[in-house]
Amino acid sequence: MVKVISGGVTAAKGFRAGGVYSGIRPNPDKTDMALIVSDVPGNAAAVYTKNKVKAAHIAVTKRHIANGVAQAVLCNSGNANTCTPDGEEVAEMATVIAAKHLGISSDDVLPAATGVIGVPLPISPFEDAMPKLVSSLSADGSAAAALAILTTDTYIKEYAVQFEAGGKTCTLGGIAKGSGMIHINMGTMLSFISTDCAISKELVSKALHDEIADSFNQVSVDGDSSTNDTVVVIANGLAGNAEITEENPDYANFCEALHIVSTELSKMIAGDGEGCTKLLEAHVSGAPDKETARLVSKSIICSSLFKAAVFASDANWGRILCAIGYTDAEFDVSDIDVYVKSEAGEVLVCKASASVPFDDDFATEILSQKHVTVEVDLHDGSEDAYAWGCDLTYDYVKINGSYRS
């Protein structure tokens, strides 16, 4: 059984985090550098953007995590360190600086960055801020780290759970950021997840790569896949359970915990889309296979026309059918049912791929809530999937029209 707890990325034993202002961002009222550290090296895995243009930190992180071990994550906001002439060199130097102050190997420090693309990132903020950043590390520092990695986000994103493995109580928690340039293919979308569960390098990697297909990769705010998307998991084993080395019930418990944390962080990212007023969730059932369910649900939440209709609380269900119809997958479209629902109730707006009478005022009330769900039954199989996005508002254009200012 999985239990929700507080604490975010420092909920697990042996993890500390902190965040400070380093000078990368022009506004000293916003912290811009975060550090997450495990007391001991842990088995680690990461996934990255599929954008061909990648941030410099990704190349460095790939090298450092090649042995499946990591002990710290260093992340700055305000500068993506992408498409810059010395980006990799700066990212590598930053890990050396952090490692020196932490007394660990620089190969065990994973860098990350988020912010404006194409602006050189100086090394001096890392040199100047690192003593203060290391001093800020705390077992209660999850929120401070979560705040320091935000860009246009409006709130911090953290979540943690406990589960059982080998008769021991294990904890898994994480933080994330993401608001714009989010159309995840592994925003900028960053997520750092920690656990004190003992699990092999091979299985922590398998669990993460299997998980993202149903959580982080099912999020879209604006259809733009970032250059910087990164998810990292570090498992330090300090819970004391026998290391999970096979796909047994303990591994299933670990995967369930990872899924819950990843899903909740994904929802927070979608619900904090730039300028948004509503979280949009699509649940597709009755699909012939899992991948089709994923594709159809994501097609719905990616539809700009439907996102705009949700902003206006307009039950324009034809836009849902349109998005379903142009999904790049093979399935029967002759018998599709569609409901829209929220805490205000639910209403059937389409039956057997055709119109049905419904109370338009009631549908408007449903769509006026902060969390709107579209339920779709394809009646063409037994698989289902979820996707998360947000409405498309005037403020999205305003925010992105002045992003560099």
Say whether pLDDT at 181 is over 50: no
Mean pLDDT on 167-177? 97
In 135-225, DSSP assigns E strands to: 157-165, 168-177, 190-195
Rounded Cα distance, 105 and 84, in Å:
26
343-367: per-residue pLDDT in tens?
Answer: 999 999 999 999 999 999 999 999 9
Task: Quickly count: other Cβ atoms within 10 Å of residue 333's Cβ.
Answer: 12
Selected catalytic residue, list 31, 95, 188, 292: 188
Q: Locate tokens 């889309």: which residue? A: 273
Residue 62, pLDDT score: 96
Spell out the residues 6+ positions from residue 305 whose beta carbon is closer than 8 angstroms to its own: 316, 319, 322, 323
287-336: per-residue pLDDT in tens?
Answer: 999 999 999 999 999 998 999 999 999 999 999 999 999 999 999 999 99
Mean pLDDT on 55-72? 96
Q: Across the chain, what does the average pLDDT equal?
A: 92
Mean pLDDT on 272-284? 87
81-92: per-residue pLDDT in tens?
Answer: 999 999 999 999
Residue 229, pLDDT score: 81
Q: What is the largest CA-CA distance in the chain?
A: 68
Say whether pLDDT at 405 is over 70: no
Inter-residue contact 218 to 387 (CB < 8 Å): yes
Residue 346, pLDDT score: 97
Residue 226, pLDDT score: 60
Please confirm, yes or no, whether 230 is among the known catalytic residues. Answer: no
Rounded Cα distance, 90 and 85, in Å:
10
Task: Give residue 273's pLDDT band: very low, low, confident or very high (50, 70, 90).
Answer: confident
320-334: per-residue pLDDT in tens?
Answer: 999 999 999 999 999
- Poorest-pLDDT segment among 207-211, 224-228, 236-240: 224-228
Task: Quickly count: other Cβ atoms within 10 Å of residue 289's Cβ.
Answer: 16
- Poorest-pLDDT segment among 143-152, 223-232, 278-287, 393-402: 393-402
Catalogue all structural domains in the chain, each as residue range(s) with its CATH number: 3-271 (3.60.70.12), 279-401 (3.10.20.340)
- Poorest-pLDDT segment among 138-147, 204-213, 284-293, 395-404: 395-404
Rounded Cα distance, 64 and 46, in Å:
11
Mean pLDDT on 36-57? 92
Say whether pLDDT at 274 is over 80: no
Say whether pLDDT at 61 is over 80: yes
Task: Give residue 270's pLDDT band: very low, low, confident or very high (50, 70, 90).
Answer: confident
Residue 185, pLDDT score: 42
Query: For residues 234 and 270, which has the higher predicted lDDT (pLDDT)?
Result: 234
pTM: 0.91
Query: For residues 269 and 109, which has the higher predicted lDDT (pLDDT)?
Result: 109
Rounded Cα distance, 230 and 232, in Å:
7
Inter-residue contact 156 to 162 (CB < 8 Å): no
